[in-house]
Amino acid sequence: MVINSIKITNFRCYYGTNSLSFNSNGKITLIYGDSGYGKSSLLQFFRWMFYNDYDFGKNDDKPLFNITAYQECKPGETVEVSGQIDFEHLGVSYRLNKAVYYSISFKMEHSTIQKVDYKLQIKGEDDGYHPFTGDVANQINTILPRELSKYFLLDGERSRDIVLDSNELKKAIHSLFGLDVYNEAIAHIGTSRNAKTTVLGHYASLLSANTTNTVGGMSISETQDALQDLYEEIEILKAKRKDIMAVIDQKNARRDEILKTLGAVASKGNLEALIKAKQQEIKENEKNIVVLQHNIGNLFYKHYPYLFLAQIASESSAILRKKNSEYASNYQNVFENLKKDLLKEIIQKNMCVCGRELDEASRTRINGIIDIMPPGSYIYEFGQFVSKAKSRIKNAQIGTMEYEKYTSQIAKYEGDNNRIEAEIQEKLDELKRLNDAKDLVDELEKIKSEIEQLNREKAGYEGKIAQKKQVYEVSNRRLTDALKSSRISSQYQDKLDFFEKLSELLISEKDKKEAQVKSTLNACVREIFKKLTTQTELDADKIQFVNDDFSLRTTYLTGGQLAVDVYSYVIGIIKALQECKMDNNENPIIIDAPFAFTGNIQSEHIFRTLPTVSKQTILLTLDLNKIRKLLTEKDLYDFYIIKNETQEKATIVRGDINDIKF
């Protein structure tokens, strides 16, 4: 799916009709808005349009319609809440429209829905849109599965709370990567002769209908029904065992994490010493920055008057050499103003041009410069001063080259400090976990007890499964022997043999394809993770990022690290679709508050990596400071601003990044 444009009318805080276009060339669509201006509402707009999702949070009791638009209507009228999304999918252009009409009442809480329109249209060869005749919700779910919407329509502030049902997520991944075709074919043919609704069951029932043999005193048909019931019981037990095993895996993962953390308690002193050393490194860098700022100021005071003279001398050197009093007089006021309006003002305000307070050495230097400027009989001594200052003018012109060297050194120190601060924050988070060690010991004991109980339950299910499986296999063999010995046409048996082999082949092919997808997805997530993470101590090549059920690995890290995991998974899915050469590899990534938990470096990595994989990324944020360095690269993004006169009158307009005050 690629979203071309949207129209949003009177939806929550959005007043009137707002239109927005999106590019699909890899550039990020960056939408800036202050807190409470409507960023989250814009994300909810997509959920409402695609999945009819009205969940705006437990503490949000505002209506779906825009309150300002409602109040402008009279009782008996209706207010329209509507949206339109134009998008493309696999070369087909779609237009999704939804409209809800509310009646106007004297009391807003008494308003009722009068009418709802929801339709999907397809663009034809005549460039006109024609009604889609199928199930709209099912078609949307096929294009972008609802189970994945929490990732592709992501609330960055709630990334920690994302918990997907593994079965639902697996179903969605199967749909995206074409594995659902295998599942449907296997379900249609069947894996056993006992399910009458499958192809195998159909021919098995025809076979049994034409034989009079019995199995243990039961007819063929009764035996098949009993076996089907037994098969279903075994599958239910297997599902329960699988659920328990998944919980055990989670408990073990948490146990290992706690043991690792408890093992690190001994290194708490080293961690504190490392933080202290990092903080000292920042202080040293800050001292170096102050020295460089002093150098810049001293450079100015040392060279500025001579550079000023160089400008004059370039125009009047010949005349000055002849001591032309008239020309020199023209510059007398200018030079006096330099002394009066700049250097003396600096002395008076006690403030350097670089913003620092003057020290004694600087004051002495400035007063010295003032002293060497031509006094008294200015006309004669000015020319003489210029003549004697030629070498100093030249040195001043050369000396100004040091300015860029100083500024680049300052930028390097500032960049180092940003990196070190991010490292310190990670160490502080780790230190906090160490300080919580007592609680971790209690949690570890509880987990051990829970794992023991779960293992007992698992063993119980395994015993029941083995017992019932043995009965099933013996009974199934007897049924097969009875059917083979019956005096009927062999055509049913031949068909059964054919479809059983076909079912086995499909299962084998599906398993291979699923393993390939899992391996590719894991590799893609790992590759993205390496680009986003700031955890240099991690060996990403040893991490299994994608679990067997296709869910993201369980982590117990800080918010920033967890956000990196989630973004790696989201971008990794898109990259894996491209690696597997799937047609459906263009799903947009829309994130509200993408930098809520990430540091500056992580945020920059995310902002720079997204366009390299995703053809369409939409970021809703108020936190531009974390990516400020990248905002000068206009080819990375399109910029929009959400304006909000009141809390209920939001509009979206194309903006200029230079209008934002950082």
**In angstroms, rounded to a whole number, what is the distance separating the alpha carbons of residues 640 and 30?**
6
- At residue 536, the pLDDT reads 73
Per-residue pLDDT tens over the stretch 553-601: 765 455 677 788 888 988 999 999 999 988 877 889 999 999 988 888 9
- The dihedral through the CA atoms of 507, 510, 516, 519 has a sign that is negative
- At residue 311, the pLDDT reads 54
Band (89; pLDDT cuts 50, 70, 90): very high
Please state the pTM of the whole predicted model.
0.62
Alpha-carbon 256 to chain mean position: 28
Q: Which of 493, 570, 574, 485 is nearest to 532 (CA)?
A: 570
* Torsion of Cα atoms, 5 then 11 then 17 then 20, to 10°: -20
| All residues at 6 or more sequence positions from 100 whose CB lies less than 8 Å from its CB, including other chains | 64, 65, 80, 81, 82, 113, 115, 116, 117
Q: What value does the mean pLDDT of the chain take? A: 80
**In angstroms, rounded to a whole number, what is the distance separating the alpha carbons of residues 241 and 235?**
10
Residue 546's H or E segment, with its range, is none
Q: Which of 10, 12, 174 is nearest to 584 (CA)?
A: 174
- At residue 385, the pLDDT reads 54
Q: Is the pLDDT of residue 270 over 60?
A: yes
Instruction: Using the CB atoms, write b or e for 454-471: b if 16+ within 10 Å.
Output: eeeebeebeeebeeeeee
Domain boundaries, given as residue ranges, for the chain: 2-144+587-659, 170-264+442-520, 273-415
In the chain, pLDDT over 70 holds for what percent of residues?
76
Name the CATH topology of 2-144+587-659.
Rossmann fold (3.40.50)
Per-residue pLDDT tens over the stretch 356-413: 677 787 777 777 666 655 443 334 344 555 555 666 666 666 666 677 777 788 888 8
Per-residue pLDDT tens over the stretch 157-186: 776 665 445 667 788 888 889 888 898 999
Question: Given the DSSP bridges, would you call strands 78-89 and 2-9 parallel, antiparallel or unpaired?
Answer: antiparallel
Helices vs. strands in the chain: H and E counts, helices first? 19, 14
Neighbours of 548 (CB within 10 A): 12
Band (511; pLDDT cuts 50, 70, 90): very high
Hey, what amino acid is at 292?
A: L
Beta bridge partners of 644: 650
User: Are 330 and 378 in contact, with CB atoms under 8 Å apart?
Assistant: no
Residue 171's H or E segment, with its range, is helix 166-176
Tokens of 121: 């249209």
DSSP structure string for 207-247: HHHT---EETTEEHHHHHHHHHHHHHHHHHHHHHHHHHHHH
